[in-house]
Amino acid sequence: MKALQFRRNLPRYAAARMAGSITPGRGSSAGPLKLVDLDTSRTPGPDWVRVRPRLSGICGSDLATVDGRSARYFEPLVSFPFVPGHEVVGDLDNGSRVVLEPVLGCVSRNLDPTCTPCAEGHLGNCEHTSFGDLEPGIQIGSCHDTGGGWSTAFNAHPSQLHPVPETLDDEAAVMVEPTACGVHAALMAEVPDGGVVAVLGAGTLGLVTLAALRAHATPSTVVATARYPEQRRQAAALGADHVVAPDEIRRAVRRITGSRAIGAPGLGETLTEGLVDRLTGGADVVIDCVGSSSSLTDALAIVRPRGRIVLVGMPAEISLELTPLWHREITLVGAYTYGTETLPDGTERRTFDLAADLVGAASLGSLVSATYPLARYRDALEHAASAGRRGATKIAFDLRDEKERLL
């Protein structure tokens, strides 16, 4: 079996960090990610099944790992060597097509009784990701025992697999996992009816979050930031009423909400230069799909007092002034992943089911911009790391070639 394997190798990891800082995605050439042959005949347990990926997406968190930028927080939550890849549509040995819900919770770890979050359906908050019958790993794609989607085959627990409706082609199906993240974020946002929402970032996460907001909330106005022309077009198509450059978001929210601008020393006391430090009011909700120091600083500047910030983009080490969080009594919540959602009408549904519905309704399969065979993994990862600039959104590995799948 062919697989892209990430090994623990500190000198290589440092080299990846340096290479990735020069050219995003270049860590794939300098770092500890290699195309190898693996034996997957041994499964973690008798109930586990083999999945042969058809398409496997490249996520921003994957790129952070490849380029040596992932947070040290995750070090005890992974097991080396591992095969990345958690956005997967694949085939079972019986020929059925499935999408993977990658979180490795108590059920997949053969733990009974389950922890409270797992019992309540919040698998992403499992308390036992380093225990049970598996080596540490928060999900398939970071656990040595399971393998991952950047391969011709890996192992999964049946509880992690969802049948793919015939109405979804492979490109649509591989978007179900990232769309589930967007659905979870939109519901975590608790948008008030008629509220103003700002979405920071128009990569894959930002775009699917926009679609989810329009499907599961009733804001009066949604404003989004986008750096590149294709991102701006897609953001508008998926529900943003206003799309602005990141450095325009403070002025845009000021105009939309009728807030007044507050300057700061050095920014121009009369704001004649058009610079805005922060607002007196602001958006009801800000959803940060970037997770950087600058995006979180913007979020704190444009959310209203007692407003809500939802952090969706994966942060690492950041520098942030938190005084506004305290002074304006802002709520900051993380939105990591999926499980079971409570809808505004009180009903409960699995996030993946909601995501599959949304992918079909909003034609989110169109966000898959390019696919690559495993052998061209360096090209694929560099493309993914510069996707926005190159007019692309989601880049994926294509393993549908039977010759490659049988290697």
- Range 336-354 average pLDDT: 94
Q: What is the reported pLDDT for 213?
A: 98
In the chain, domain spans: 2-176+359-405, 190-334
Residue 404: its pLDDT value, please? 53
Tell me which residue of 267, 263, 330 sits closest to 296, measured CA to CA. Answer: 330
Average pLDDT over residues 20-37: 94
SS3 label, residue 260? coil
Find where tokens 């999945």 sit.
51
> pLDDT category, 268, cuts 50, 70, 90?
very low
Residue 34 has pLDDT above 70, yes or no: yes
In this predicted structure, what is the pLDDT of residue 274? Answer: 47
Mean pLDDT for the stretch of residues 50-79? 94
Distances (CA, A) of 354 to 187, 197, 288, 327: 11, 21, 21, 37
Cβ atoms within 10 Å, residue 241: 15
Cα distances (angstroms) measured from residue 132 to each of 49, 115, 147, 212, 308: 18, 12, 17, 34, 36
Residues 316, 72: Cα–Cα separation, whole Å: 8
Band of pLDDT at residue 263, cut at 50, 70 and 90: confident
| pLDDT exceeds cutoff 50 at 267 | no
Please give the class, per CATH, of domain 2-176+359-405: alpha beta
The fold adopted by the segment(s) 190-334 is Rossmann fold (3.40.50)
The predicted pLDDT at position 275 comes to 59
How far is CA 113 from each of CA 116, 118, 132, 135, rounded to the nearest angstrom? 9, 10, 11, 19
Q: Do domains 2-176+359-405 and 190-334 have the same CATH topology?
A: no
